[in-house]
Structure 1
Amino acid sequence: MPPTISHRHVPVPASRRRRPDVCRALLPLAWAIVATLVQSGCASYAPLPLGHADGAASVAQLSAPTADMPLPALAGHRFDPSDGLDVTETAMLAVANSPELRLKRDELGVARAQAFAAGLLPDPQVGVSADFPRQSGAGLTTAYSLGLSEDITALLTRSSRKAAARSQADQVNLDLLWAEWQTVAQARLLFDQVHSLRAQQARLEGEQRALATVSRYIQAALKAGNLTYDGASAGLNAEADVRKRVADTAIALHQADSDLHLLLGLAPAAPLDLVGAPYRSEPGAAQVQAALDDLPRRRPDLLALQAGYRSQEQRVRGAILAQFPALDIGFNTARDTSAVYTHGVSIGITLPLFDRNRGNIAIERATRQQLHDSYAARLLATRSDMQRITGDLATLDRQLATLGAHVRQLDQARAAAERAWQAGTLDWPTYLAIRGNALSADLDLLTVRQEQARQSIALQALLGNTDLATTHPVTAKASTP
């Protein structure tokens, strides 16, 4: 009977006998790594499809929360578009729904995310390795090595990165506030443009109707042979000139209306009922001077430049810290194929022989100097612009007073000429000349008023606080002509 062979009598290589030891040693580490990844709250992907961006079909679909308004004058105004939009409600809608401001707010979200990323600690590095003997023998076993290391240099520069990112986020936030103030000024300006162009259009259409009677008289005289085309050229040219002005005004009105629709986030064909008077402000010399003295502490764009400069200061500091040798420290444990266990420390140092981060330091210092000079240039340009606009407003005030008196005289002359023309005591060339002079003066007056409003709104924007001036609030809405 043949002998029974048991599996326990079969020789097993030492390396194979030792492999379960390595597995048992690596298994807890593997489970720890898996548990860490699961508990770290990894982000998940979610698609964000593109939309059609058609704009709101009506003002009723839009909202303007007063809590989000950047100025007290807007935050304290009751928003009720049911009876039309006055100039303040128009500015409120622009702040809440402007597509350009939405992009600015997205930039703020990016800056805040960057500030969050700058404060995160660098992840440690884990290294695992195993060596299996190719030959079996007494005392041989599978070798393994476990190591944990950390970049110390990243920890040293973390405070500078965090401070720079926070200041950068502050700069973007202040830039957003400044953009909101500029949007308020733009909404007021477009409201005034639409108001002025509608007034010009109404004046020109009235002139066109008045010239129709003269045109019929001229056409009848030409047909009867009592007037030549050379003699009728003045009358024909007057009517053609008014038609051209009507068309030009209509095109300008379409552009201003389109710009206002876009600013408010409305669809191009959405109805827009503007009511009330345009925005008017008359800051005194003392108010202008007080605002000018306080500009660096109050105006958002200047505060944004200051925050950007602070951020750059931290970048310079971080670049200087980074010039020191990069340091990487690690700890490891290992077992060789002879089952000898060891523990060790690893240190990696970058030798600062050639680079020493000198290039980055030079770049950051040059950028800081650029920001320093940019702030000084912005402040000087603001003071210069305010001085110029203040002088322009004084000139426009004098021009309005003179032109207003001239317009009243020409209006009286036109009314007298119209009565004489209807009575048959005034020839039509003289009548047309008087009407043309009065029309030009009326349009000039509207143009000067619009320029005065534009300069006034620009001054308020430069002052950095549109609530400083003495304004003429709209107490009751009245339809814009």
Structure 2
Amino acid sequence: MFTPLGRPLIAVGLAVAVLALASPSMANDTVVETAPSYDDLVARLDALPSTLEANAVYDAAAARAEQARALPNPSIAYSRENVYGTGPYNGTGNGETTLSINQPLELFGQRSARIQAARSEANAADLRRVQTRWQVAGQLALTYAEAEAAARRYDLAAEALSLTEQDARGVAAMVEQGREATLRGVQAQSEVEAARAALDETKALRDSAFARLSAIAMLERPVQAISASLLDRTSNPTGVGADDPLAVRVAQAELDAASRLVTVERRRALPDVSAAVGRTRFRETNDEAFTVGLELTIPLFDRNRGGIRAAYAEQRAAEARLIAQKQEVRAERLAAEATLAASNSRTRAADSGVAAAEEAYRLSRIGFEAGRISQLELRSARAALIAARNAAVDARIARVLAEIDLALLEGRAPFGESR
């Protein structure tokens, strides 16, 4: 677990400036807007545009599945026969009036095939909605961690400037005493200016990282600080979804939908059957009679062969995607677990390196002020300390990335439980 460092300490003329790595902003910031915690942002996932879009797509698919259950509408027809002819059929006096109702019957499993296909599409849309939700959570985790890392790097740059200025003052004192050449003082001042430029650069990176976090999280006001650390959180593989990862379930649902569409296209090649019931009124005798009939289409010219071939091709494509997804997910899961374990080890090693670099720099300061080591050795120890602290931040970013990859495979938010 990462241990935040303390504030600068001064003892016996030695000063080791240490800023808390977990501190999100410089101490001279008087009023800052703090971002909600990562857990609070995850709780608001449903309000983000990508999640809203995925929910709307699922709602549309669910509505189509409900609509697929509807029976086809009947049609009504009105006709008059034996009118405007010759002889007794001149005009409409002896015309026969027929009123009939036609109802498509949807035989041969046409309706059930349509319903099952729509349900499969809705199921696939539901799984894609869940997948999008965890993708958005992963994007939030990465943006949050990058903003926190940028703030820490800014603090480290400020700390490096403080240490460099402190060393430069020590060199200047030795130059005045004649213990160091004037060139050393010029070099020390050059290092101060370089550290100041690095501080300005990290400030710009920090501000842009917080701007991205404010935009992606849809925050009402821009933020400049992190309320709760995400870089210091650890996560262990839960094993959730190891046998049935979310990405594989999505691919399987898409294959099921494609298979159902094959059935739909095959049913479309069968004849359409309609039943008709009508009543005819004979004007001449004022009698009435009922008519009953069936209408059957003949699949002579259009047998939907192209549609069937297209559906089978889409099914084969879905099968190939499923096979590829299974292989890819298996490899990605092993890689994510290995990367997460390695990043945990890397983080522990980086923290140990920071402690060792701090002690080395402290001893170098003592030796430099006592005249036992050179400015170059002190500069090397300071550079090693700064590099070690930056390496600790890099290790935590790598751990967050590994956790994001693993969480998406397991179907959960990073650093959270599956749902």
Q: Distance in 2 between matches of 1:187 and 1:410?
A: 33
- Equivalent residue number for residue 351 of structure 1: 298
- Relative distance call for 1:218 and 1:408 in structure 2 (3 A) is closer
Give the Å deviation of 1:87: 3.3
Q: Does 1:186 align with 2:132?
A: no
- Structure 1: tracts of 5 or more residues without a match: 1-82, 471-481
- Equivalent residue number for residue 58 of structure 1: none
- Relative distance call for 1:312 and 1:326 in structure 2 (3 A) is same
CA contact (8 A) 2:117 2:257 kept: yes
Once the two structures are superposed, residues 89-131 of structure 1 have per-residue CA deviations (whole angstroms, 9 ceiling, x without a partner) of: 23213x2322211111111111111112111111111112347
Question: Alignment partner for residue 261 of structure 1, among 194, 198, 214?
Answer: 214
- 1:325 alignment partner, SS class: coil
If the length of structure 1 is used for normalisation, what is the TM-score?
A: 0.67
Give the fraction of aligned pairs with identical amino acids, expressed as a percent: 17
- Equivalent residue number for residue 413 of structure 1: 360
- Relative distance call for 1:278 and 1:468 in structure 2 (3 A) is closer
- Equivalent residue number for residue 170 of structure 1: 123
CA contact (8 A) 2:251 2:325 kept: no
Q: Does 1:115 align with 2:65?
A: yes
- Equivalent residue number for residue 273 of structure 2: 327
Once the two structures are superposed, residues 293-351 of structure 1 have per-residue CA deviations (whole angstroms, 9 ceiling, x without a partner) of: x2x2xx44433333332222222122222211222332333346755755434443332
Root-mean-square deviation (Å): 3.7
Give the Å deviation of 1:389: 2.3
- Relative distance call for 1:253 and 1:97 in structure 2 (3 A) is farther
CA contact (8 A) 2:231 2:397 kept: no
- Equivalent residue number for residue 159 of structure 1: 112
Once the two structures are superposed, residues 185-226 of structure 1 have per-residue CA deviations (whole angstroms, 9 ceiling, x without a partner) of: 3333333333332222211111112223455788998xxxx7
Q: Distance in 2 between matches of 1:458 and 1:381?
A: 13
Q: Does 1:378 align with 2:331?
A: no
- Equivalent residue number for residue 256 of structure 2: 310
- Relative distance call for 1:343 and 1:240 in structure 2 (3 A) is farther
- Equivalent residue number for residue 56 of structure 1: none
CA contact (8 A) 1:143 1:334 kept: yes
Give the Å deviation of 1:265: 2.4
CA contact (8 A) 1:130 1:143 kept: yes
If the length of structure 2 is used for normalisation, what is the TM-score?
A: 0.76
- Equivalent residue number for residue 9 of structure 2: none
- Relative distance call for 1:172 and 1:450 in structure 2 (3 A) is same
- 2:382 alignment partner, SS class: helix
CA contact (8 A) 1:204 1:242 kept: yes
- Relative distance call for 1:356 and 1:391 in structure 2 (3 A) is same
- 2:302 alignment partner, SS class: coil
1:86-165 to 2 correspondence within 5 Å?
Answer: 86-93=37-44, 95-130=45-80, 133=84, 140-153=93-106, 156-165=109-118
- 1:328 alignment partner, SS class: strand
Which one has a bigger Cα radius of gyration?
1
CA contact (8 A) 2:211 2:222 kept: no
- Relative distance call for 1:438 and 1:271 in structure 2 (3 A) is closer
Q: Distance in 2 between matches of 1:271 and 1:248?
A: 16
Give the Å deviation of 1:84: 7.4
**Paired amino acid for 2:236:** P
CA contact (8 A) 2:210 2:223 kept: no
Which deviates more, 372-381 or 148-157? 148-157
Which deviates more, 424-433 or 435-444? 424-433
CA contact (8 A) 2:37 2:228 kept: yes
- Relative distance call for 1:164 and 1:240 in structure 2 (3 A) is farther
CA contact (8 A) 2:210 2:222 kept: no
**Paired amino acid for 2:146:** Q
Q: Does 1:444 align with 2:357?
A: no
- 2:98 alignment partner, SS class: strand
Q: Distance in 1 between matches of 2:295 and 2:186?
A: 95
Q: Distance in 2 between matches of 1:354 and 1:243?
A: 81
- 1:120 alignment partner, SS class: coil
- Relative distance call for 1:441 and 1:382 in structure 2 (3 A) is same
Q: Distance in 2 between matches of 1:418 and 1:172?
A: 63
Higher share of residues assigned helix: 1
Q: Distance in 1 between matches of 2:203 and 2:107?
A: 63
CA contact (8 A) 1:151 1:329 kept: yes
**Paired amino acid for 2:73:** D
- Relative distance call for 1:271 and 1:133 in structure 2 (3 A) is farther
- Structure 2: tracts of 5 or more residues without a match: 1-33, 176-180
- 1:385 alignment partner, SS class: helix
- Relative distance call for 1:469 and 1:334 in structure 2 (3 A) is closer
Once the two structures are superposed, residues 132-183 of structure 1 have per-residue CA deviations (whole angstroms, 9 ceiling, x without a partner) of: 6488969934543322112234784111111111221122122222222333
Q: Distance in 1 between matches of 2:99 and 2:315?
A: 45
- Equivalent residue number for residue 368 of structure 1: 315
- Equivalent residue number for residue 48 of structure 1: none
CA contact (8 A) 1:115 1:169 kept: yes
**Paired amino acid for 1:89:** D
- 2:222 alignment partner, SS class: coil
- 2:77 alignment partner, SS class: strand
1:6-85 to 2 correspondence within 5 Å?
Answer: 85=36
CA contact (8 A) 2:171 2:188 kept: yes
- 1:331 alignment partner, SS class: strand
**Paired amino acid for 1:274:** S
- Relative distance call for 1:138 and 1:322 in structure 2 (3 A) is closer
Q: Does 1:455 align with 2:402?
A: yes
Which deviates more, 233-242 or 327-336? 233-242
How many residues matched? Answer: 376
